[in-house]
């Protein structure tokens, strides 16, 4: 069993508990009563590098990263730094997150929010909408057959913007054929947890320029953002570097300035 398979198995076990506590029909009613989700795409297409800043306590590859007793405080720093969106980990077993974290952040900031989790059912998309998310993550490698297409349609019907995550050429082709507007290239292999920074540059050419290209994983600072910007990234999703760096607001500001600086150098 790969790391991804193990994570998804745990996600399904925890999901079964929540489904037993709250029937899908009741959750749907609550979800549809929430305000219409915000649209993050205009910010993703900004002339500056757009940053999705992540609330992340730990990860399977690095273990404990940071104590985050109140995720809304960290999210407020991200918002002050100009983050285009804020990603909130809601997977509990490996990442130490929860839907309570998402709700706490939603109550504090107006910035679009991404529910970062391993979504494999419609119920989870309803949870995302009900908790105040504006975006949802769909990982191509976790959704075989027509499940990707089905859940993408459900998410868009709910008004959620979908970040479709890919790891190789075949997955990229699936995401493009799906019509996904926002496509994330994760340089971390979810089966082995190894990071291969060259993955984004290799796959970006297969993503049409009218789509939003998101670079994920392996971003340790401004230099990595600069590299991804040069390779065609519109957005960088950054977690570890922000939660351990000590100055999240300033770090987001510095990363946002990268594309402007790169374009200025190119025009000289």
Residues with a known catalytic role? 54, 56, 116, 165, 186, 216-217
| Token pair 């340089």 in the structure block, residue | 187
Joined together, the tokens standing for residue 178 give 């799906």
Q: What is the spatial distance between Cα 66 and Cα 56, in angstroms, rounded to a whole number? A: 8
Buried b (16+ CB within 10 A) or exposed e, 218-242: bbeebebbbbbbebebbbbbbbbbb
Question: Is-contact 125 154, C-beta < 8 A?
Answer: yes
Buried b (16+ CB within 10 A) or exposed e, 99-131: bebbbbbbebbebbbbbbbbbbbbbbbbbbbbb
Q: What is the spatial distance between Cα 239 and Cα 251, in angstroms, rounded to a whole number? A: 11
Question: Is-contact 181 156, C-beta < 8 A?
Answer: no
């Amino acid at each position: 069993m790969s790391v991804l398979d193990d994570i998804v198995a745990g996600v399904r076990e925890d999901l079964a508990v929540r489904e037993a506590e709250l029937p899908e029909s009741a959750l749907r009613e609550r979800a549809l009563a929430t305000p219409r989700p915000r649209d993050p795409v205009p910010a993703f297409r900004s002339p500056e590098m757009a940053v999705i800043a992540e609330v992340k306590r730990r990860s399977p590859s690095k273990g404990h990263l940071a104590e985050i007793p109140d995720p809304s405080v960290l999210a407020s720093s991200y918002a002050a730094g100009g983050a285009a969106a804020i990603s909130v980990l809601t997977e509990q077993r490996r990442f130490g997150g929860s839907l309570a974290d998402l709700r706490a952040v939603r109550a504090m900031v107006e910035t679009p929010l991404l529910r970062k989790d391993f979504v494999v059912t419609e119920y989870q998309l309803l949870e995302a909408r009900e908790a105040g998310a504006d975006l949802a993550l769909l990982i191509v490698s976790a959704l075989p057959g027509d499940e990707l297409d089905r859940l993408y349609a459900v998410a868009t019907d709910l008004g959620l913007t979908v970040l479709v995550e890919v790891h190789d050429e075949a997955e990229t082709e699936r995401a493009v054929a799906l019509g996904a507007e926002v496509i994330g290239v994760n340089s971390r292999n979810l089966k082995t947890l190894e990071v291969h920074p060259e993955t984004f540059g290799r796959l970006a050419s297969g993503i049409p320029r009218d789509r939003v290209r998101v670079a994920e994983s392996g971003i340790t600072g401004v230099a990595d953002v600069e590299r991804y910007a040069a390779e065609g990234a519109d957005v960088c999703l950054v977690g570890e570097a922000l939660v351990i760096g000590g100055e999240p607001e300033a770090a987001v500001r510095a990363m946002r300035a990268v594309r402007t600086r790169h374009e200025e150098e190119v025009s000289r």
